[in-house]
Amino acid sequence: MNKELKQLFDEDQQDLRTMPHDRIERDRKRRSRVKLIIDGGSATDGIDFIHAAIIYQHGESLEDFWQAYQLSLKAVELGFKPKWLAAVALDRWLLKQGKPLKYGNQVVEFGGVYRIPKIEQETKDEVREHWDIPSFEELFSFDNLRGFVNSEIVATAVNDRLKINIVKLERPPVHTPSLKGIIYGSTNENQTIYENSFGWRWIENSRGIFELGWILMPDVPVIAHAVAGEGIAAIERVELAGCSCFLVKFNESKTLYVKNSAGIWSITGINESHVIKKAQDLIKGSIT
C-alpha cells in the first residue's frame, strides 16, 4: 500500500465529515498530488488505485469523474473487491452530463427531496449484481446505496399498493448537481414550466425558487422519501379520485405520492392545495 495515497485518502474522508470552508481548494491540491503519484508509477496495489479514485470522485469536472472511473477499473483489474466504486464513478460521470445512469447509484435533490435520476432501461439487475450495486427496486428504496451518507428510516406508511419510508440522511450529499432545466411550457396562470433531461418538471416563484414539481417514478413496491436537515416528518393518507395516496410533510415541504397505471407520481411543493390540485390534474390526465 502506498502510504501517501492512504494519507491523502484519510484527509479526504475527514474533510467530508467536517466540511472545512476551504474544502474545494484542499480537494484540488489532493488531486494534483495524486496525479503525480500515479504518473510516477508509485501506485501498485488495487487499494492504491481505490484511494486515488475516491479522491478524484470528489472532484469538480467531467475529467475528474472519468479519471475516478478509470482508476476504479484499474483497481478491479488488480483484484480489488467490492467493485461498486467503478459503477458509482461511471454513474457520476453520466449524471454530470445530464444523461441516464447506467446503474442508478446517484441522487439529485428535487424540491428538498433526494431522488434517483433516470436509469438506462437496458441495464439488468444481473449486471448490477456483478458490480455490487443494489437491484433496481432497492435503489428506489435507498436500500444499501453504495458510497452514500448514513441514513435512518424515521416514518413509514403502507397500503396494499405502495410503501413509503421517510429516510433521514445524516447530512446533505456533497456532490449532487443542482437542478437545471429548459423551458417546457407554461401553466394556466402563465408560470413557466421547466423540464430537465430526466423528464422532471417544475415551476419556480418570482425569485427563482422551487415552488412545485412533479416526477413520474417507476412502479416499485417501496419508495424512499429522502430528506436532510433538522425537521419534523409525518405521513398521512389522502383519498383522491378513488385513489389511496400518501401525503408526506417535512418542515414546509409537502409531497403527495399517487400510484396509477403509469407508475408513481410524486408531487412536491410548499402549498398543500397546489400539490393536491396538481395531483388531481395528473390523475385525470389533463396536464403532464
3-state SS, 131-200, equals CCCCCHHHHHCCCCCCCCCCEEEEEEEECCCCEEEEEEECCCCCCCCCCCCEEEEECCCCCEEEECCCCC
Neighbours of 139 (CB within 10 A): 25
pLDDT at 287: 44
The DSSP bridge partners found for residue 194 are 183, 202
Q: What is the mean pLDDT of each run of 10 residues along the chain (288 residues)?
A: 97 92 95 97 96 94 96 96 94 96 97 97 97 97 94 94 96 88 95 97 96 97 96 93 91 95 95 96 71
pLDDT at 192: 97
Burial of 93 from C-beta contacts in 10 A (0-12 / 13-18 / 19+): buried
Q: Are 5 and 40 in contact (CB under 8 A)?
A: no
**Interatomic CA distance for residues 90 and 57, integer angstroms:** 10
pLDDT at 113: 98
Neighbours of 15 (CB within 10 A): 18
**Interatomic CA distance for residues 190 and 237, integer angstroms:** 31
pTM of the model: 0.91
Break the chain into its structural domains and give their ranges.
3-81, 108-284
Between β-strands 163-169 and 222-228, what pairing exists: parallel, antiparallel or unpaired? parallel
pLDDT at 286: 46
pLDDT at 160: 84
Q: Are 183 and 192 in contact (CB under 8 A)?
A: yes
**Interatomic CA distance for residues 277 and 249, integer angstroms:** 16
pLDDT at 260: 87
**Interatomic CA distance for residues 281 and 170, integer angstroms:** 35
Q: Integer distance in angstroms from the first to the last C-alpha of the chain?
A: 54
